[in-house]
Structure 1
Amino acid sequence: MYITEGWEQWSTDKFGKKFIQNFLLELDMNCQNCSVKETILLLLILLDPILSENRVKRLSTPDFFKNQTLEMAKYVISIRSRIPERYYGDNHYCGGAIVAPRFVLTAAHCVMDKSKFKYPSRTIMVVGGTPNRLKFIDNKSVNMPVKEIFVPINFTSQNTNNIALLKLTEAWPTTNPGVAIISIPNENPTVNSSYFLLGWGRMYKGGPLSSLILQINVTIFDTATCKSMLRTFKEEMLCGMNEDPAIHQSPCQGDEGAPLIRNNVVYGITTYRLGCSTPTLPSVYTNVYYHKDWINSIISAADWQCIPAIVLLSLSVLVF
């Protein structure tokens, strides 16, 4: 009797409805042929962060608005170690955004060790066109090896400018609707406005990574507010959080490098996920507009490097 009445009340409130929607979505996308035992296991996994009230949750109500999320997901990539540990997608550790045919934007600490040495490019794999990080789909999912890593000198010398560009071995396919190039901003983000953050980060501190790409809403604060809330805040940083007290949404482990998006423009890159463990603190993002000149200079230099080879090829054709 109490169970029935409790279920009826819980299933009609805001959080209950959202949970049921997400359970049915996961069931549809990842567990269509599951046994009863596997279905119950999925239910327990999804219930775990709700039942464990002492855990700080990344997303109390994970959002997946199919058309809206998938439209933005084409800009977002998963950064992984080169080889999976046990199964496809279990090696995801950071996010990023496609900003040019052969370039991906992410956080510097996604591509450097604790001693500030860059990882060998051959150890990193970039994966696009895969909203479900655990599923490789022919003609949609794209695995791209990394050729070169670029990080501002100030990150290694002063621990600022937490941003990086990854040059890929080849360009993204232009015929794949699951991948697209996002625009770089022409102005600073508007403060006190909402932006979308997309990634596969942990569902709560210490919890499992999300298999499906999710989105959260982040309000960007003005500089004075950020400085009053954070011990260290530099000019090239942004800070923000979800201001709805009933919904704690914040980036968590696995979301580093994930883009802040609005109107198909990337305004920020996730760097310090403070909100995951401390709901009263905003998380920190690198301001993409602040680094616009650096980004364009790296991409333009790469384009110029291709010109001599094209000229030589043209000359050889003329000679022969």
Structure 2
Amino acid sequence: MYIDLILYNYLLIIGQVWCSSSNNNNSRRRIRIAASTSISQRASSHFSTSVVSLRSRTAQAYFGDNHFCTGCLLNDFFVLTSAKCVTSRGKVPRRPRELVVVAGSRSRLNRTRQTEKKAISFAAVHPNYIMFNSNDIALLKLTDPINEDYSFTDPAPDVLMPPPYGSKCIVMGWGRQFANGPLASRLSILEVQLLTPGHCRRYIPEMTEEMLCAISRNSTLPVGPCPGDTGGPLFCNDALIGIVSYTMGCSRANFPTVYTSVYYHHLWLEDLLDRGGQQRMKLAIGMLIWSYMMT
């Protein structure tokens, strides 16, 4: 557990250093090159319907100003996201009634006829994240299903495959447009390259097997997930491969972002979905005890 805490703090510090040292002139171009011509129009438009905004329950001044994380629809009831998005810094699970999911629109700020705002009935956080700061993944269950019409809300492709290292991938979210900048008003679609585990460890020696990393494919005008993109989906070869975990590559050249592998966790996810999102009793009790000890 001590080693895991060191890993968590190391990743957090590195992320803060890289983000705070971002060159704003390059970073401001993040949105401009988000819709790269090398990203197929079909892929970007199809995958974008599965991306949702995770928000605090009530907006402060206007619609959309309460966005803080991104997620991905697995089906009409379940959303996949980062465990960071549904726990406090002390690893205490947030109350579901404090959170809402907004789907059906690429715009963060505009409510349309297709916009759907859903409450969350409960969130299942991987027990290793609560206890050991690893396995940054969570499954949310909505109180009501997303519209089955699926015109503007279509779940992620139901394709399970190992990480295709070296492939061109896309990551989506409404994160900050550059380090310490404003959140994107429209969904950003960013092109990155998935690196091999060995290549990842050149940057981050503490990478574990359940982690992935991807880097900007454009060294001149770098792009990459920033705060607010956490929990967002990483799509490679028409499959959901990962979710944003540590945004250390926030609009930076030559440094990757860390993702949680969906394939690595597929048995955990399948078990949860089979149970309607409910954790096994022993795991649930263990998480409650740990949360109590940490408060």
* TM-score over 0.5 (shorter chain): yes
Match for residue 200 of structure 1 among 164, 174, 182: 174
Residues 26-63 of structure 1: CA deviation (Å, up to 9, x unaligned): xxxxxxxxxxxxxxxxxxxxxxxxx953x745716332
Q: CA deviation at 1:262?
A: 3.0
Q: Please, what TM-score do these two structures have when normalized by structure 2?
A: 0.80
* Letter matched to residue 233 of structure 1: M
C-alpha displacement at 1:242, in angstroms? 1.3
Distance 1:299 1:52, change over 3 A: closer
Query: Quick check: 1:275 aligned with 2:249?
Result: yes
Of residues 84, 88, 110, the one that matches 1:109 is 84
Q: Which deviations, in whole Å up to 9, do the C-alpha atoms of 1:125-164 show, x marking residues without a partner?
A: 00111100101111x1100100010011100111110000
Aligned to 1:31: none
Correspondence for 1:219: 193
2:129 aligned residue: 155
Identity of aligned residues (%): 31
**Matching residue of 2:214:** 240
Counterpart of 1:125, as a letter, is V
- Matches of 2:181 and 2:192, distance apart in 1: 21
Shift, 1:108, TM fit: 0.3
Runs of 4+ aligned residues of structure 1 deviating over 4 Å after TM superposition are 55-58, 65-68
Instruction: Show the 5 A alignment for 1:1-320.
Output: 52-53=24-25, 56-57=27-28, 59=30, 61-64=32-35, 68-138=43-113, 140-276=114-250, 278-302=252-276
* Structure possessing the higher relative contact order (Cα contacts under 8 Å, 6 or more residues apart): 2
- The unaligned stretches of length 5 or more in structure 1 are 1-50, 306-320
For the 8 Å contact 1:259–1:266, the answer to whether it is kept is yes
Higher helix share: 1
SS of equivalent to 1:226: helix
* Deviation of 1:73 (Å): 1.2
Q: Give the gaps of 5 or more residues in structure 2.
A: 1-22, 280-295
Which amino acid counterpart does residue 97 of structure 1 have in structure 2? C
For residues 160 and 304 of structure 1, the distance between their equivalents in structure 2, rounded to whole angstroms, comes to 20
Q: Which whole-Å CA distance do the structure 1 matches of 2:60 and 2:209 have between them?
A: 39
Bigger CA radius of gyration = 1
* Residue identity matched to 2:49: K
Structure 1 pair 286–52 and aligned structure 2 pair: CA distance change class (3 A): closer
TM-score relative to the length of structure 1: 0.74
- Tell me the equivalent position of 2:7: none
State the alpha-carbon separation in 2 of the partners of residues 135 and 277 from structure 1.
Answer: 25
